[in-house]
Each structure stands twice: as structure tokens, then as C-alpha cells.
A and B are shown apart, each in its own frame.
Chain A
Amino acid sequence: MKRIEVKLSLSIVAPLLDVIRLLADGLSQKLAAPQELGDVDEDFRDAWLAELITGQTADVKALLALFDEEFFTEGIVAFDEDNAEPIVRACAAVRLRLREVYLRGLGDDTLEGGDVELEDLAEDVRKAFMCYLFLATVQELIIQHLDSSIIES
């Protein structure tokens, strides 16, 4: 099984986990981004949304499971063919939620370009933006090294 291990800076990443955990609670009840279901039948719509939230909750749980004892002792997290797919999806969910909750004020162009002066941001927004970048890095790592296992699964 293909597996990659990444050593992270504990002092930088550990404080970001508070933000991720805080948003993770909300993601068990609400979709990361609102979805337009058009004229889908009402009963079907409820089942549809419930299943999306169930999947989202499981994905976020897989993301949080990365930060286990090994992470807090060695700073190491491991991605493999089993956890890559839920984690890459969970990163997307949390990033979407970060935008909704903390980063709206930055504007979409800024968010897409990533050209932000961290020193100019309020403390909570700065932390949220660092979290946003961190999760993008996790996604890039997984896509770079494990995309074939995700595409073929």
C-alpha cells in the first residue's frame, strides 16, 4: 500500500487544530457549502441532504484522526490509500466553511490569489487563513502522491 508520511511543525499546526475542531462540530449538522437541488422531490431532497451530511461527518472524522498521539509526539501524519480520499474531501469541506465563517471579508479574488498580508489581519482571521492554506497544502500533497489511488478506487 502506498503511504506517505509528513513531518509537520507542531508549534505551527497544533494551534490551527482548534479552528478545525470548532468548524468540524458544525459540519456534522450543516453542509460545508449550500447546494441547489432545484426541483428534486421534497422527500428525496431530505434523504439527499442527510446522506451528504453523513458522508461529510465521516470525512471530517478521518481528517481529525490524522492528529493522533504520533502527531503530538513526533509531529508526523500519514496518508495512505485508505484515508486519502476522505481526508482530501474533508479538507475541501473545512476550507469552504472557513470561507463562510471567517474569510468572507477578504473577497473571492484575494482568496483565489492567496495574496494576503497576514500582519494586516485580525487574529482570528489570520489563524483561519493559515488553516485554509495548511489544508490546501494537505490536499496538494495527497493529490500529488495519491491521486491515482483515489481516481481508481
Chain B
Amino acid sequence: MIISSVKSSPSTETLSRTELQLGGVWRVVVLNDPVNLMSYVMMIFKKIFGFNETVARRHMLEVHEKGRSVVWSGLRENAEAYVFTLQQWHLTAVLESDETH
């Protein structure tokens, strides 16, 4: 996976860790699209984040009704990996800085 290739360089890893320490908290946000099925979106949430049925449905409905849902937050490197994976599944996912932290 793409994230692994970045980790393979020690200098990049060091830089990456430094950036993370300075980077604060990042949010993974899924945006609505009119194409993907609700059942498909729920399945992806369950697979990627390990959500149970109730949590997956809540996030799916939030995407559908409000246009976006924050599905995860934490270190930037992990957030990037989640965004990449969601994009592999053709969901519209973006990375946002959580400025409340």
C-alpha cells in the first residue's frame, strides 16, 4: 500500500513523525454523493473502521442527510491511510485539520 512505501525510508519516517507531533489532530470526512448505495457505504464503514451496524448506519445517514460525516480523527499519517482506503472504495473522502485541538 502507498503508505508503506513512505515508511520504508528512515529519513522520511523521522520527518513524518516530527510532522505528526506538530500536526495535531486530523479528521477523516466522508462527503455525500448521489451514486453510492446506502448499503454499500455502510458495508465500507463496517469493514474499514470496524463499526457495528448502528454506528455505521448513523454515519451513513449523516453523510446522506447533512452532506458529510467525520468518521475518524487522530494522527495525520493514519488519517491519510483511511482517506486513501475510502477513496479506493470510491467514496469521496477528505482530510481536514481539527483546529479544536
Contacts and interface: CB of A to CB of B under 8 A. Distances in A.
A52 B5 contact: no
Nearest to B94: A36
Interface stretch (A6-14, A17-25, A40-48): A40-48
Interface residues of B, number: 25
Interface of B: 1-2, 5-6, 33-37, 39-40, 43, 46-47, 80, 84, 87-90, 92-96
Given A40-B95, A153-B47, 17 more contacts: A32-B90, A33-B33, A47-B5, A48-B84, A51-B84, A52-B87, A88-B40, A88-B43, A89-B88, A92-B89, A111-B35, A136-B37, A139-B37, A140-B39, A143-B40, A150-B43, A151-B43
Instruction: Sort A-B residue pairs by CB-CB distance and give the 10 closest, nearest first.
Output: A108-B34, A92-B90, A151-B47, A51-B2, A112-B34, A111-B34, A143-B39, A36-B94, A35-B87, A151-B46
